[in-house]
Amino acid sequence: MTEERLAAKVLTVSDGVIAGTRVDASGAALAELLAANGFAVVDQQVVADGTDSVAAALTDMTDGFAGLVVSTGGTGFAPRDQTPEGTRAVIEREAPGLAEAMRLVNPLGRLSRGIVGIRGQAVICNTPGSPKGCVEQLTAILDVLPHALRLLADTPTSH
């Protein structure tokens, strides 16, 4: 993580993208949003839905990484929507205020079970699988994420 550009990674959780029956529009939308807001997107991955697959991908993406990891997909009510469960399996601490702020941007946000948490020096944010929903929810907290990441890195801040 540098002072100029904070590092970010994007994880798309989708059986359809893995099978080749859907285009990863949400992952692309998140990467574009992050880059437009000063983040260096250093990795993008796709994984099948499921607790174990999400946990394994997030573990791999956060090991030794200082920055932001944003997932898209798997936060709803469908049986295979298990991204929050996979995320809970790997985070050390939750950041419920961020998840609450994300849900408030749109009435459909109340259907999101996504969580935000910390693993090492990484912040993991779950967002919905739709391009509109993931961008709306991440936009709701983008203003405070640089400060959160600098605190995790034990970098001096202005407070």
**DSSP per position, 123-148:** EEEEE-SSHHHHHHHHHTTTTTHHHH
Q: Sorting pLDDT into bands at 50, 70 and 90, what band is 73?
A: very high
For the chain, percent of residues with pLDDT exceeding 70: 95
Residue 152 is predicted with a pLDDT of 94
From residue 44, alpha-carbon distances to 9, 13, 103, 117, 119 in Å are: 6, 11, 24, 19, 18
Domain topology for 6-152: Molybdenum Cofactor Biosythetic Enzyme; Chain A (3.40.980)
pTM for this entry: 0.95
Overall size of the chain counted in residues: 159
- Kindly state the average pLDDT of the residues 124-148: 97
| Beta strand pairing call for 6-13 and 66-72 | parallel
Kindly compute the dihedral angle of the four CA atoms of residues 58, 56, 17, 112, in this order, to the nearest 10 degrees: -60
Spatial neighbors of 99 by CB under 8 A, at least 6 apart, are 114, 115, 116, 125, 126
Residue 4 is predicted with a pLDDT of 63
Query: CB–CB of 123/152 below 8 Å?
Result: yes
pLDDT > 50? residue 2: no
Which H or E run includes 39? strand 39-47
Q: What is the pLDDT of residues 20-52, one digit of tens each?
A: 999 999 999 999 999 999 999 999 999 999 999
pLDDT at 158: 63
Q: Is pLDDT at 99 greater than 80 in this prediction? A: yes
